A and B are shown apart, each in its own frame.
Chain A
Amino acid sequence: ETGVTQSPTHLIKTRGQQVTLRCSSQSGHNTVSWYQQALGQGPQFIFQYYREEENGRGNFPPRFSGLQFPNYSSELNVNALELDDSALYLCASSAWTVTDTQYFGPGTRLTVL
């Protein structure tokens, strides 16, 4: 059974640029959630995708957007990057019937200069 994978591992961007992060869900999981973890803090919920549609969203501006594909993989897109967007971005997958039990990938470390 393959776990949650994310790419890339690390990324460096400059302020104002756009970035796309990718996530492949665990085998058998059809729901993907994204979280932002700033240094020294707990993860903050960005949004969740199910059946290729956004199923819930946290307190993040519209420049944070996402996609889910028919194979349940997902992308997180962030436009007009700001310095405060520097963080570890975590993807988590779950089965729709047990969405509260989420399994996390290793994360993508984004640095905005």
Chain B
Amino acid sequence: GDSVTQMEGPVTLSEEAFLTINCTYTATGYPSLFWYVQYPGEGLQLLLKATKADDKGSNKGFEATYRKETTSFHLEKGSVQVSDSAVYFCALSSNDYKLSFGAGTTVTVRA
């Protein structure tokens, strides 16, 4: 079945540092890939998505590239801010009705 494995946290960074969160997946066919972010006490917000190989999703300075050859969708941001502190979830959808999520990575950015 479909599954997502993402880098375990927690991750603690200083402001303006480079952030990478690794995500790999197992799926049948050609899934769509997503990153969601969850701020404390809130629901999930869609951060970015990619629907086919070599697509790059980007939003708010975050980027992730759909790598079919390595079944990966790593999230990157060049310069993080304190406001980026949150839990980040990698997810996939291979059948149009269900999202399969990773366990989440907690990121804390210190001023």
By a beta-carbon cutoff of 8 Å, the part of chain A in contact with chain B is 4, 6, 33, 35, 40-45, 48, 55-56, 58, 90, 92, 99-107
Contacts and interface: CB of A to CB of B under 8 A. Distances in A.
**Chain B, interface residues (CB within 8 Å), range:** 20 to 34
Nearest to B93: A100
Interface of B: 4, 32, 34, 36, 42-46, 49, 51, 89, 91, 93, 95-104
Given A6-B43, A42-B102, A55-B97, 5 more contacts: A56-B98, A90-B43, A100-B93, A101-B32, A106-B43
- Determine chain B's interface SS by DSSP, over half rule: strand
A113 B103 CA distance: 25
Contact of B46 (A42, A45, A103): A103
Contacts of B104: 40-42
17 contacts: A33-B98, A40-B104, A42-B89, A42-B102, A42-B104, A55-B97, A58-B98, A92-B44, A99-B93, A100-B51, A104-B43, A104-B44, A104-B45, A104-B46, A105-B43, A106-B43, A107-B42
Given A42-B102, A100-B99, A102-B99, A107 B43 contact: yes
